[in-house]
Amino acid sequence: MSDVKKVVLAYSGGLDTSVILKWLQDQYQCEVVTFTADLGQGEELEPARQKALKFGIKPENIYIDDVREEFVRDFVFPMFRANTVYEGEYLLGTSIARPLIAKRLVEIARDTKADAISHGATGKGNDQVRFELGAYALMPEVKVIAPWREWDLLSREKLMAYAEANGIEVDMKHKNGGAPYSMDANLLHISFEGRHLEDPKAEAEESMWRWTVSPEQAPDAAEYVDLEFENGDVVAINGIRLKAHEVLAKLNELGGKHGIGRLDLVENRYVGMKSRGCYETPGGTILLKAHRGIESITLDREVAHLKDDLMPRYASLIYNGYWWSPERKALQVLIDHTQARVNGWVRVKLYKGGVSVVARDSKDTLFDQTIATFDDDGGAYNQADAGGFIKLNALRMRIAGKKGR
């Protein structure tokens, strides 16, 4: 055990991090500071305070912060400016919350003169990497305590035994239901891993899903929604101006109602294994479609293609935990620069699990009807130009062909 005086713990108030809290006190004999974030996960946070107090945490060492606006404004929205998708499908709902938590852990460590941080992520997953890369980038001298990599409580049974032995409350559902899904939730999504999802050929149970109704149970009538964009971000829904986190909350409500944003996939973790996960991202799924829609009329072709070419790399950086890296920041500078004219509105249709863009317009549109028209364009475009365009683009291939290649 290294010499730790004070540690800031990312504390949810749940069973796992409560066990960790106690274990840190016992093993490291150190002062613990708890940090509980409201990321829009939809749970009461005050119980976390009461639990912390019960463990003897000093009131001034209990941090409970509402970071919802910061989360969406400074993390989710910048990411969506890039139309970010990991491995063609995953909207990075967990990945994008971790750097914010890492940043707050470090800020609180500085405030409280703590020398270490701790978290409840396991040694097999991506979240440990995301927390720790963020912390090291922002506070290079920080010590990190990752109990799941250190202790011997490697099964759920051992964990519950430790909890009971130490007077930590265990829900009946945990006692009876076997291991629960491993879940993570915030304003962008809720995720599920573990249990029978560990078999990729088993369909997820309908009872697992939490935020969305099933498409079968969604309303029988489609709903149209208008989204207004400024600099690539949604600023209003159906004409009502909203803050960043309010936008996402509203889209979650709409998407959830219409069964939008369920996803079931096998992904490649940074630590080297494949993992099956299920996700509900109702608002994000709408947002991605709509953002592509507004970009389709306001972005230059080559700028759009440059973004598309860089997107998988940017997505991997976020997935792998490199939000606070200099290369992610460099890419963000480019991405944000491209959004200066991504203004206008998009109309989406929501129906039974599907979202489609049906109309879009912008004062900054690059769509030029006088040129695109199939009707006579009055000379706006000279069709003969295309002949030379094709001839020169073909030249290298014609030369090769003439030489028998």
Q: Select which of 49, 81, 98, 341 is catalytic.
A: 98
Contacts of 313 (CB under 8 A, 6+ apart): 331
CB of 4 to a copy of itself, least distance (A): 15
147 SS3 class: helix
Place of tokens 């500071």: 33
Q: Which token pair is 74?
A: 């400074």
Q: Is 26 a catalytic residue?
A: no
Distance in angstroms (rounded) separating the CA atoms of residues 25 and 162: 14
Minimal distance, residue 183 CB to a copy of itself, in Å: 12
Considering the candidates 127, 262, 276, 341, report the single residue annotated as catalytic: 127
User: Which of the following is catalytic: 16, 115, 184, 233?
Assistant: 16
182 is catalytic: yes
CB of residue 346 vs a copy of itself: minimum separation in angstroms? 10
The answer to whether the annotation marks 13 as part of a ligand binding site is yes
> Would you say 257 or 292 has its CB closer to a copy of itself?
292
3-state helix, strand, coil in the chain (%, to 5): 45, 20, 35
The number of angstroms, rounded, from the C-alpha of 90 to the middle of its chain's C-alpha atoms is 9
Q: Is 61 annotated as a binding residue?
A: no
Q: Is 275 annotated as a binding residue?
A: no
Report the residue number, 40 or 232, with the smaller CB distance to a copy of itself: 232
55/270 with CB nearer a copy of itself: 270
CB 402 → a copy of itself: shortest distance, Å? 5
CA 307 to chain centre: 19
Instruction: Identify whether 199 is a catalytic site residue.
Output: no
Cβ at position 331, least distance to a copy of itself in Å: 7
Shortest spacing between CB 287 and a copy of itself, in angstroms: 14
Q: Please check if 296 is assigned to a binding site.
A: no
**Cβ-based burial of 282 (10 A; exposed 0-12, middle 13-18, buried ≥19):** buried
Strands 223-230 and 233-237: antiparallel
Helix (H) or strand (E) holding 204: none
Position 376, amino acid: D
DSSP string computed for 332-400: HHHHHHHGGG--EEEEEEEETTEEEEEEEE-TT----HHHH-SS--TTSS-TTHHHHHHHHHHHHHHHH
- Of 69 and 364, the one with the shorter C-beta distance to a copy of itself is 364
37: annotated binding-site residue? Answer: yes
**309 annotated as belonging to a binding site for a ligand:** no
CB contact at 8 A, 24 and 118: yes
Among the options 182, 296, 316, 325, which is catalytic?
182
Structure tokens at 99: 């750097």
CB nearer to a copy of itself: pick between 61 and 95:
95
* 202 class by beta-carbon count within 10 Å (0-12 exposed, 13-18 middle, 19+ buried): exposed
Strand pairing class (62-66; 31-38): parallel
Nearest distance in Å: CB 169, a copy of itself = 22
127 is in an annotated binding site: yes
Element holding 108 (H helix, E strand): helix 98-112
Looking at the Cβ atoms of 2 and 60, the one nearer to a copy of itself is 2
Q: Is 296 a catalytic residue?
A: no
Q: Which is nearer to a copy of itself, 46 or 89 (CB)?
A: 89
Q: Does 126 carry a binding-site annotation?
A: yes
- Catalytic site positions: 16, 98, 127, 182
Q: What are the binding residues?
A: 10-18, 37, 90, 95, 120, 122, 126-127, 130, 182, 191, 267, 279
Annotated binding site for L-citrulline, which residues?
Answer: 90, 95, 126, 130, 182, 191, 267, 279
Residues making up the annotated binding site for ATP are: 10-18, 37, 120
